[in-house]
Chain A
Amino acid sequence: MSFTETDHGSEGHGAHGHGAAVPGAENPGGEHETAFKRDQKERLMLWLLIGGDGLFLVLELFTWFYLRALNTSGLWNGAKCSKANPCTDGLGNPINGPIQKADPKHAIIIAACTVIAAGFVWIAESAARRDAGKRAVSTAAGVGFLFLLVALGWQIYQFQVLPFTTIDGAYASTYEFFMGSTLAHLILLGFIMLGLWIRASKGRYAGATWYRVRLIRFFAVWIAVSTVILVAVGALFY
């Protein structure tokens, strides 16, 4: 392999702050890469992570439809009494009775709040892109964060009001798995949106760094989409 060397050949390779600061970078003190290079790297990373998360979502749906189709011993949604919580006919067989379907109202509220939160991140991005000032960006980010907190709180509340518990058969197990997965995603998105709000308030997303808000928007939209899918499956395929 032949090569020559140049002191300006591959700008943006700096990983530890070698060289002068590059205009347009969000962080003038630490990393010294062009905005384009950072955006390229971070976008690709995000798409790959979303791809992996998408596969996890597919496996959640696979689990739901697989167990629903098998309906082992009629216990997909008919395990009011289970082996873990014995309530038998005297011969050791569980007395089956359809468990009540989870009220879709709660899930729809959670999904709606998540979608609205993602929408406000989109508004924040557009404000940053227009260079509308830190107040516009931080307001949109802050409102989005509040909606996300509502979604998060409601998700926790939904665990309290479910008409079944984890032990009540395959439907109950999978439904709560969906809820747990949504909760974990909302917590992660919550940290990111809190960061967005705080950083926007400090004017970190003015002008050339709007692309970093776009990155958060990609993730927020993905979380909103995956939440809607889980809610739809949970509501429509009892």
Chain B
Amino acid sequence: MTTAVAPPLLEDTQLGPKAGGFYRYQNIWTGLGFGIFLGFVAWLVSHATVQGSNWGTDMVVTCTMVAWVVGFNIGMGTFNAPIHWILGHDQTHEDELYAAGVGQGSSRYLKFCTDHKVVGTQYLVLVMVLFGVGGTLAMMIRTQLITPHSSFLDPQTYNAIVTIHGMVMIIATIIMVSGPFANFIMPIMIGAKDMAFPRLNAMSFWVVVSAVPCLLATFFLGGVNAGWTTYAPLSVQAPAAMDAFAMTIITFVVSVTVAGVNTIVTVVTMRAKGMTMGRLPIFTWGTVVGGALGLYAMPAFLAVMTMMITDRATGTSFFVPEVGGSQWLYENIFWIMGHPEVYVILLPPVAAVLEIASTFARKPVFGYKVAIAGFVAIAALSIMVWAHHMFTTGWAPNLAAPFMLTTELISIPTGIIFLCTIGTLWKGSIWTRLPMWFVYLFVWNFIIGGVTGIYLSDVPADQFFHGDMFVTAHFHYTLLGGAMIGATAAVCYWFPKVSGRMLNERVGKVAFWMIAIGIQVTYFGQFWEGFQGMARRIAYYNPHYETANQMSTAGAYLLMAGWLVFLYMMINGWRHGKIAPANPWHAKTLEWKVPTPVPLENFLVDPVVTSDPYTYGEGVPDGQEVPESAPAPEPELVPAGSAPGDQIDAGGAS
């Protein structure tokens, strides 16, 4: 046992009146103000200079959006440190502490704050807001489809809503785990004091915030009615909203790239002593592989959207066949990004599910190394499957069989990871708390989403299903039923560490059943629509499909109500929940060994890891009861600085 005197908490440091420099005066309001100001100036200037040209409106919208993004981030303080660096100045120790939020209370959540826990919390709130927007749009879609010829929305508006629903949800699901939990939890899990690059971490958050108004602005610029894939030539012909849409993506790509690099560097270089790669919690592996895959996928997204914007705003012809371009070029590059992106979404929540299953089954992750190999195999294969999205387009028919094969191959590592989840639960003494309910739901949904995906990888079957509601049901089972439910399990699991309070599980179970039933009713309804042959993205439909649509819409209302109950549970838990102990689940990973609330730089004294992450039941002689294999009583609230398991004599050195 090592003994040491615990140093004082950093957040108790008294900062001088000049600490932080410009950061003192910058927050979300200066960001908004400066962004709007610069955007307005850009609009005025571009309107005066290029509006009369062939592509004037597109150029004006593009310039305005670029200026908004840059201005917002100048106002937030994103560029303070790089400018200081160029000018040869350095931030002082006090500046660093100020930027980390010391002495600012809750106002640091509205500022450019470098503390990874603040950034994680900011991401969590942003994800909830995005899901709120995307969910509301989904309800508008389902409301329109409740009758065959509803007048709730006109077809143009309906298509615009379908597009933005898709993109809001894509953005939200990409960051729903890698934003909140890879930021808040992962550094603590590996024994680090923060992310490798705290300023880049804060930057990744505020850059994505600046993308959101661009996306929502599309509704006021004529709407993007091309579907979330925004295929050319629809996107080339779309109103000026398409420019704002493309700027959203370009901005988002910057954020995801920076965040992915930061995650990888953190895990590779910031691990505590003794935290070998073989001892990394499985969740960490999921975030690293997901981040690496994002790093591969995002340049394609950037390239295709840049070409799209230049086609629209400067008259290039990448995707215009009449002038030498090709829409297949768009589809190829888009799906080179598009399919790996599904696994960027999926891998972190799946890893979180494995983490949670291990904790509540009181067993190590079954096939830990095989699961890691599965993550890597999925990442590798996912970059070789993109053309299965183009089976019906007529592009390279000779390649259909090879792409069918690679797509079907990817079901093998996916199945292995699924088996690892089942194996972890198998014969475990399962403590069924709220996170576990969502793990069960994940298992159920993911098997349905996965199996229906195999049908779609098959060329003959895809000829029938392509572009119909079967596909919609499949990817909602995978991304909502699988990834989002996995993320929900993660929220329930880590909420006590993030907020310092417990969730009300009784309310949580009500939400759980509403969500669980809602998903099945909604998407079985859509499978039914698909089997009948109903196409996607249509505002009016043949009365033949009415019953299936009504079933789906009824399920959607139940699902939305379930999410609202869940949201109520979270907000109520955050404000009035029982104070959480440092380790309510008796888990083994490091994030549960630090006090709650977690102090700045996480560890009062640096940890040295001496064993694997899942040592449940070890060290107990044969025949004796394993103390941690059964539901354990909740421990007493532990004062900050002396979490259970701390082998430290805070009273003085001995």
Chain A residues within CB distance 8 Å of chain B? 1-10, 13-18, 26-27, 29-31, 37, 40-41, 44-45, 48-49, 51-53, 55-56, 59-60, 62-63, 66-67, 70-73, 75-76, 78-79, 82-84, 94, 165-167, 169-174, 176-177, 180, 191, 194-195, 198-199, 201-202, 204
Q: Is B1 an interface residue (CB 8 A)?
A: yes
Taking a contact as CB atoms under 8 Å apart, the answer to whether A27 and B91 are in contact is: yes
For residue A26, which residues in chain B have a CB less than 8 angstroms away from its CB? Answer: 90
A165 to B298, CA, bound (A): 29
Bound-complex Cα distance A199 to B325 (A): 46
Give the distance in Å from the alpha carbon of A127 to the alpha carbon of B196 in the complex.
29
Contact between A173 and B93 (Cβ–Cβ < 8 Å)?
A: no
Which residues of the partner chain A approach B82 to less than 8 Å between Cβ atoms? Answer: 191
Are the CB atoms of B296 and A55 closer together than 8 Å?
A: yes
Minimum CB–CB distance for A127 against chain B, Å: 18
B648 close to A (CB within 8 Å) = yes
The answer on a CB contact under 8 Å between B606 and A41 is no
User: Which of A5, A17, A52, A66 makes the CB contact (< 8 A) with B607?
Assistant: A5
Kindly list chain A residues whose C-beta atoms are within 8 Å of the C-beta of B608: 3-6, 9-10
Contact A16 B264 (CB under 8 A): no
In the bound assembly, the distance between CA atoms of A195 and B317 in angstroms comes to: 38
B329:A63 contact, CB within 8 angstroms: yes
Chain B residues with CB below 8 A from A44, complex form: 264-265, 268-269
Question: Which one of B10, B299, B303, B326 contacts A67 once the chains associate, using CB atoms below 8 Å?
Answer: B326
How far, in whole Å, are A59 and B302 apart by their CA atoms in the complex? 10
Contact of B95 among A30, A84, A165, A204 (CB under 8 A): A30
Contact A9 B303 (CB under 8 A): no
Among A16, A84, A191, A199, point to the contact of B54 (Cβ < 8 A): A84
Q: Report B-chain residues with C-beta under 8 Å of the C-beta of A76.
A: 324
Interchain CA distance A162-B320 in the complex, whole Å: 22
> 29 A–B contact pairs at CB < 8 A?
A1-B279, A1-B589, A1-B609, A2-B609, A3-B272, A3-B274, A3-B607, A3-B645, A4-B2, A5-B4, A10-B272, A10-B606, A16-B114, A16-B198, A49-B257, A52-B296, A56-B302, A56-B303, A63-B303, A63-B329, A75-B323, A79-B324, A94-B323, A166-B314, A169-B317, A170-B325, A173-B310, A199-B88, A204-B88
How many of B's residues come within 8 Å of A, CB to CB?
A: 95
Contact A45-B315, Cβ < 8 Å, known A5-B606, A16-B97, A70-B326: no
Contact: A49 with B7, CB < 8 Å? no
B329-350 Cβ-contact flags toward A at 8 Å (1 or 0): 1001100100000000000000
Question: B609 to A14, Cβ gap below 8 A?
Answer: no
Complex contacts, A27 vs chain B, CB 8 Å:
90-91
Q: Which residues of B contact A71 (CB under 8 A)?
A: 324
- Report if B14 contacts A (CB, 8 A): no
Closest to A53 in B: B299
Chain A residue contacts of B99, Cβ below 8 A: 16
Q: When A2-B610, A5-B606, A79-B324 are in contact, do A13 and B193 touch as well, CB less than 8 Å?
A: yes
Given contacts A1-B615, A66-B326, A177-B316, contact A7 B606 (CB under 8 A): yes
Q: Which A-chain residue is minimally distant from B609 (CB atoms)?
A: A3
- Sorted nearest first, the 6 A-B pairs with minimum C-beta distance are A75-B324, A15-B194, A170-B324, A9-B606, A173-B316, A195-B86
**Whole-angstrom distance between the Cβ of B271 and the nearest chain A Cβ:** 8
A167 to B188 alpha-carbon distance, docked (Å):
53
Cβ-neighbour of A52 out of B270, B299, B590 (below 8 A): B299
Contacts of A63 in B (CB 8 A): 303, 307, 318, 329, 333
Q: Are A5 and B264 in contact (CB-based, < 8 A)? A: no
Taking a contact as CB atoms under 8 Å apart, the answer to whether A48 and B323 are in contact is no
- Closest B residue to A66 using CB positions: B329
Q: Tell me, in angstroms, the Cα distance from A40 to B267 when the chains sit together.
A: 12
A30 near B607 with CB under 8 A, answer no
Q: How far is the CA of A163 from the CA of B615 in the complex (A)?
A: 70
A-B contact count (CB 8 A): 252
B611 proximal to A (CB < 8 A): yes
**CB-nearest residue of chain A to B304:** A59
Q: Tell me if A1 and B329 are in contact (CB < 8 A).
A: no
- Cα A13 to Cα B601 in complex, Å, equals 9
Cross-chain contact of A5 among B197, B261, B605 (Cβ < 8 A): B605
Chain B residues lying within 8 Å of A176, measured Cβ to Cβ, are 316
Interface: B87 (CB within 8 A) = yes
Instruction: Please tell me if B466 contacts chain A, counting CB pairs below 8 Å.
Output: no
Mask, B600-643, CB within 8 Å of A = 1, is 11011111111111110000000000000000000000000000
List residues of chain A with CB within 8 A of the CB of B299. 52-53, 55-56, 59
Contacting pair B310 A177 (CB below 8 A)? yes
| Chain B contacts for A202, CB-based, 8 A | 88
CB contact between B615 and one of A2, A8, A13, A170 (< 8 Å): that residue: A2
If the complex has contacts A1-B279, A18-B193, are A41 and B265 also in contact, measured as CB distance less than 8 A?
Answer: yes
Given A1-B588, A45-B197, A177-B310: A31 touches B96 (CB 8 Å cut-off): yes
Task: Please name all residues of chain A whose beta carbon is closer than 8 Å to the beta carbon of B326 when the two chains form the complex.
Answer: 66-67, 70, 72
Q: Which residues of B contact A84 (CB under 8 A)?
A: 54, 315, 317, 323
B residues near A78, Cβ cutoff 8 Å: 324
Interface 0/1 of B1-17, CB less than 8 Å to A: 11011010010000000
Residues of B within 8 A of A13 (CB): 192-194, 270, 272, 601, 606
Q: Which of A40, A60, A166 contacts B303 (CB 8 A)?
A: A60
CA distance A56 to B609 in the complex (A): 39
Contact A5/B646 with A30-B90, A76-B324, A169-B317 known, Cβ cut-off 8 Å: yes
| Additional A-B contacts beyond A16-B10, A16-B198, A51-B295 (10; CB < 8 A) | A9-B605, A15-B198, A18-B601, A41-B265, A49-B261, A52-B261, A94-B322, A170-B318, A173-B311, A191-B86
Task: Report if B647 contacts A (CB, 8 A).
Answer: yes
List, in ascending order, chain A residues with CB within 8 A of B607's CB. 3-6, 9
Complexed CA–CA distance, A59 and B329 (Å): 10
- Given A18-B10, A45-B265, the answer on whether A9 and B86 have CB atoms closer than 8 Å is no
Beta-carbon contact of A29 and B92 below 8 Å: yes
Of chain B, the residue at the smallest CB distance from A56 is: B299
Complex formed: what's the CA distance from A38 to B645 in Å?
Answer: 31
Contact residues in B for A18 (Cβ distance below 8 Å):
10, 193, 601
CB distance from B295 to the nearest CB of A (A): 5
Residues of A within 8 A of B614 (CB): 1
* Residues on the A chain within 8 Å of B531, using CB: none
Residues from chain A with a CB closer than 8 A to the CB of B5 are 7
Residue of B with least CB distance to A194: B86
Residue of A with least CB distance to B87 = A198
A73 to B326, CA, bound (A): 11
Query: Taking the nearest CB of chain A, how far is it from the CB of B326, in angstroms?
Result: 5
A79 and B317 alpha carbons, distance in the complex (Å) = 10
Task: Check A82–B10 contact: CB distance below 8 A.
Answer: no
